[in-house]
Structure 1
Amino acid sequence: MTTQILFIRHGETDWNRIKRIQGHIDIPLAEVGLTQAQSLARRIVDEVKHGARLDAIYSSDLQRARQTAQPFADALGLPVHLSEGLRERSYGAFQGHDSDEIAARFPDEYAHWQTRDPGFTPPEGESQRAFYHRVVHAIEPLVAAHPGGRIACVAHGGVLDCVRRFACGLSLDAPRDYTLLNTSVNVVDFDNGRASIVSWGDIAHLDAPSADDTFKKVPQPGR
């Protein structure tokens, strides 16, 4: 039986805006992120009122994801089930720094990171390969618990990236050519151990553009 999951990236944080790596650091939503979460809630509630099914809501236990899930959970009267397995990748000593700071503080590790080696582990952190397997294993019991159902999982850009790679059979070192937008709705069907993308990067509920999950800093005017 097919289980459909709405994978939703959390709303924008202040650190998203300045491209500072969050990882497991528990950063709250910025004002714009809270507004995005409310817009998301209105969309999901409207869809349910018009007949869409939503059986359960799961979220990373980090507050930026919880704050994104809670408005539509409250409106629908559903609990938010928290999962450490849905957390963002742990970047260890890289966390709390932007890419320029990492290059200056950890030049050798930064150079290795840029090779896209899935086995590279930041100091005290988690490799892309370990992260990917953690995410896939965290999703498996959710699918098993809701055969034929439709659920929401609110998580992080890195988690959505793992889901996309799993569904499309992409290698972990392949460059990304798809978006991972704040409060985007990304719909994936799971059936008999396989996944397929139904829709991706949907931000129709937002009134303004949404930021992609990237560590690349945008040049400021005059710099």
Structure 2
Amino acid sequence: MLGSNSRVAADLGCNGNAQSVPIGIAYAEIVVVRHGETEWNADKRIQGHLDIELNEIGRRQATAVGERLSREGKISAIYSSDLKRAFETANLIATACGGLEVIKDPSLRERNLGELQGLRHAAAARVCPKAFKVLRSQKTDREIPGGGESIDQVYQRSTTCLRNISMKHKGERVVVVTHGGVIQLLHRQAFPNQQSGRKVLNTSINIFHLSDGDNWVLKSWGDVSHLSEMKHPSTGFGGDRTSG
């Protein structure tokens, strides 16, 4: 399933700052950002495709990441999942970065988690044991009961979307706002044989360089230094392959 042409930058770090991509460079710099916190994140409730908006903390997080990105180099375009929590985050980033129009793409949505959506994570195993078993399974081709997706399906749509964006924006820096489960799969594209080892926190910055479609270089992972002055930046639930 995973690409074989991926590689990892030697200077990968948690606090790497991206500058404008030099003219003539054949890669696209894609700054992938997880959406800000929602009340359902804080309540440890599974969201999936359910359309939950940001809470006040999430809006502050999105403003903070937008202000940071505005200082770190020109952004040519902003893409976003069409779900409210991502799209609102993207619009707050766009406002801070000069008012770019956000391009919606449903291929950037979180995994559809079927009948688990809306449940608190702690209750999911008891209420929907079959669906929860699929959620926790290591088999990537299993769809979650109730209209849910398999990991393979999410991987295919999300990595294809990023490839297409990279081909449109060679030599440019673009922002993509999406969800924790999706970002974990993008990490697996860059690290085919390695788990990320940690959750993707709300409004974390994860920077990929893509060239020729299948050459992925991960430059920065899980950077939330822009939240250093906010209280409890890591309390939002989610950001792993099972949470939605």
Secondary structure (helix, strand or coil) at the match of 2:182 reads helix
Q: Deviations over 1:161-201 (max 9, x none)?
A: 1110001113xxx6541330100111111112210110111
Which residue, 205, 221, 227 being the options, matches 1:185?
Answer: 205
Relative to the length of structure 2, the TM-score reads 0.81
* Deviation for aligned residue 1:147: 1.1
Q: Aligned residues: percent identity?
A: 37
Structure 1 distance, partners of 2:170, 2:225, is 28
* Deviation for aligned residue 1:20: 0.9
* Deviation for aligned residue 1:111: 2.7
Partner residue in 2 for 1:3 = 28
Which residue type is aligned with residue 213 of structure 1? G
Partner residue in 2 for 1:138 = 161
Structure 2 distance, partners of 1:36, 1:3, is 25
Q: Say if 1:168 and 1:196, in contact at 8 Å, map to a contact too.
A: no
Secondary structure (helix, strand or coil) at the match of 2:119 reads coil
Partner residue in 1 for 2:218 = 197
Partner residue in 2 for 1:213 = 239
Structure 2: gaps spanning 5 or more residues: 1-25
Q: Deviations over 1:20-51 (max 9, x none)?
A: 1101100000110011111112111222xxxx
Relative to the length of structure 1, the TM-score reads 0.88
Structure 1 residue 45 and structure 2 residue 78: aligned? no
* Structure that is richer in helix per residue: 1
* Deviation for aligned residue 1:72: 2.4
Q: CA RMSD in A?
A: 1.7
Structure 1: gaps spanning 5 or more residues: 217-223
* Deviation for aligned residue 1:77: 2.2
Structure 1 distance, partners of 2:187, 2:165, is 17
Secondary structure (helix, strand or coil) at the match of 1:88 reads coil
* Deviation for aligned residue 1:110: 2.1
Partner residue in 2 for 1:117 = 139
* Deviation for aligned residue 1:112: 3.7
